Amino acid sequence: MEPKEKIILTGDRPTGKLHIGHYVGSLRRRVELQNSGLYDKIFIFEADAQALTDNIENPEKVRQNVIEVALDYLAAGLDPSKSTLFIQSQIPELCELSFYFMDMVSVSRLQRNPTVKTEVQMRGFSGESIPVGFFTYPISQAADITMFKATTVPAGEDQEPMLEQCREIVRKFNNIYGDTLIEPNILLPENAACLRLPGTDGKAKMSKSLGNCIYLSDSADEVNRKVKSMYTDPTHLQVNDPGHLEGNTVFTYLDAFATDEMVAAMTADYQTLQEMKDHYTRGGLGDMKCKKLLMSVLQETLEPIRQRRAEFEKDIPQVYEILKKGCEVAREVACQTMDEVRRAMKINYFQDYTLIEEQSRRFASK
């Protein structure tokens, strides 16, 4: 079905505070998209119900992180007057739509979903011990997206299989029941360094359990301390040794955060990041100088975020009020979509007057 409006939807599981990997991978872009004026509606939500699929014994963790993530959203610049911020579990229609979608996806199709495969491995679920709700979360995610008729889902490449599965469900639904739902497109991060920011230890992913994250809520001192201990190039022992950029976390972060204007303003010797990289690979540039630049760059980016966060932290009831209002707006949209879905699926018995009339006639003529 051709979309009438350009609608963005995306979200995060509230299982931890957001870190700078989230910021360059998604949050920064969301704020730009929000402020671009190119979209008719923007929905950003906390996937708490999805977080519970593998945290069912840990409700307190999810509950505490709902407010942390909301604060991170607001601190990063998501503006409730432009974007609807809401919480997944407060929209019961999402369960309803997921339930019908479950009839359109086979067990083998879910088993082939590469994201499910890796996540199942990561969590150490073996074979049949996977919770059904976790196994089927791509279906619930398809409901999240289609409920709001999203055309555009800004997300990392790891979400690509989810979007593919979602489009399959939409095509199947529209084929059977007539044009009702919209096929979404993924919007990947532009900068390759942002696709997945490694941890400060150089490991592939920032993760709380590895202790290699820089959080948006970290103090300036914490950020500096973490940068100082960052992984660089293990073969760059003497300043004059040629350095390597590949796998060098300091440069990966600089790629993700530093603009040439920042480099020119913050260093005495370089106009662009490339000039600095050239010096590093030639030899003669020490790691500490690179780290110093990274500290300045990160502070410039994170300081306004920290300040906004501190403001919102002063009025937590107001943050809950923002989320509650967002849920009300989201719920209205969800009810509208479910009306359309029920009509398409012919389970709108009480609204379908032709059905009642037809059957009255049929039974009268018996």
Q: Using CB under 6 A, list all residues that contact ligand TRP.
A: 9-13, 47, 50, 141, 144-145, 153, 155
Report CA torsion sign: 166, 148, 34, 305. Answer: negative
Helix, strand or coil, per DSSP, at residue 260 = helix
Question: What residue has token string 């010096």?
Answer: 279
Q: Which is nearer to ligand TRP, 39 or 231 (CB)?
A: 39
Residue with smallest beta-carbon separation from ligand TRP: 47
What's the closest the beta carbon of residue 276 comes to ligand TRP, in angstroms? 33
Q: Which is nearer to ligand TRP, 139 or 293 (CB)?
A: 139
CA distances from 206 to 127, 196, 202, 249, 262 (A): 27, 8, 9, 12, 25
List phi, psi (to 5°) of 200.
-65, -20
Q: Which is nearer to ligand TRP, 13 or 19 (CB)?
A: 13
Cβ atoms < 10 Å from Cβ of 181: 26
Tell me how far apart the alpha carbons of residues 94 and 81 are, in angstroms, rounded to a whole number.
Answer: 24
What's the closest the beta carbon of residue 131 comes to ligand TRP, in angstroms? 16
Instruction: Tell me the Cα Rg of the chain.
Output: 24
Bridge partners of 12?
A: 46
Helix, strand or coil, per DSSP, at residue 275 = helix
- Quote the tokens at residue 96: 């309803």
Q: Which is nearer to ligand TRP, 161 or 202 (CB)?
A: 161
Residue 145 near residue 337 (C-beta atoms within 8 A): no
What's the closest the beta carbon of residue 214 comes to ligand TRP, in angstroms? 18
Please count the CA atoms within 13 angstroms of the CA of 321 that sit on its side-chain side: 6
What's the closest the beta carbon of residue 145 comes to ligand TRP, in angstroms? 5
Q: Which is nearer to ligand TRP, 153 or 341 (CB)?
A: 153
What's the closest the beta carbon of residue 128 comes to ligand TRP, in angstroms? 23
Residue 144 near residue 91 (C-beta atoms within 8 A): no
Tell me how far apart the alpha carbons of residues 149 and 8 are, in angstroms, rounded to a whole number.
Answer: 9
What's the closest the beta carbon of residue 184 comes to ligand TRP, in angstroms? 8
What's the closest the beta carbon of residue 180 comes to ligand TRP, in angstroms? 19
Q: Which is nearer to ligand TRP, 13 or 277 (CB)?
A: 13
Q: Which is nearer to ligand TRP, 8 or 305 (CB)?
A: 8
What's the closest the beta carbon of residue 188 comes to ligand TRP, in angstroms? 12
List phi, psi (to 5°) of 215.
-85, 150
What's the closest the beta carbon of residue 143 comes to ligand TRP, in angstroms? 9
- Residue-level length of the chain: 366
Residue 144's closest CA among 230, 58, 245, 43? 43
Residue 181's closest CA among 9, 45, 11, 34? 9
Q: Which is nearer to ligand TRP, 9 or 213 (CB)?
A: 9
Q: Which is nearer to ligand TRP, 95 or 356 (CB)?
A: 95
